[in-house]
Each structure stands twice: as structure tokens, then as C-alpha cells.
Amino acid sequence: DQQVKQNSPSLSVQEGRISILNCDYTNSMFDYFLWYKKYPAEGPTFLISISSIKDKNEDGRFTVFLNKSAKHLSLHIVPSQPGDSAVYFCAASAQGAQKLVFGQGTRLTINP
């Protein structure tokens, strides 16, 4: 039972354009969502998070949108840069538990 799903294994975007990564969840108890960026054989790097009491959070080039009714969140990167090429993971936690449930990841490639 995969509670957090990233249905796109890969995404290719031209440099300077917008990258949109999507994530769906099934567990309505999730109330905190995070996005991480990861390179092979390294630990995930925290990018941005959002609480279920909000529907949008921005940090520089990164914006996360949360649609609770659809149980869907998305990460927007504008403008996309070559250094953004990595695997992006969506993760969720419930009620303060220090336990993350991860999606399978989306490999983002930014083309010059």
C-alpha cells in the first residue's frame, strides 16, 4: 500500500522554464509535507515544506502547492537551472510523528 505516490518517474525541462513535480497521497492523517532533492549515494537535501493548514508556501525559486481535497501537492521550480537536475522526493508525516513516508521519486533533468 503506497501511501505517497509520484507517478512520473522522470521529467525533462528546458533551462529557464518552469518545472512542475507532482505528488499524490492517500492517508488523510498526513498533515505535513516535505520535498527533498537527492543525488545518487548522498542523503536527501531538504528543499521546502508545507503544513496542511496552508495551501501554498514559497521559498525563492521553489513553491509548493497543497490541494487537500484532492490529496495532491506539487513543487514548482521557476526558473529551472541546470543545477536543479536531481531526483526529487515528496514525503509526508502525520501528527508530529518523526516518521516520513516517501514517494518513489521523480528524476528531473534540466536541458540547456
Which 3-state string (H, E, C) describes 93-110?
Answer: EECCCCCCEECCCEEEEE
Residue 84 in grid coordinates: 536543479
**Touching another protein, residues 59-88 (CB under 8 A):** none
Span near another protein by CB under 8 A; candidates 10-18, 39-47, 57-65, 78-86: 39-47
- C-alpha torsion 59→13→23→53, nearest 10: 20
Query: Smaller CB distance to another protein: residue 25 or 36?
Result: 36
The site for another protein (CB under 8 A) is made up of 31-32, 34, 36, 41-46, 49, 51-52, 89, 91, 93, 95-105
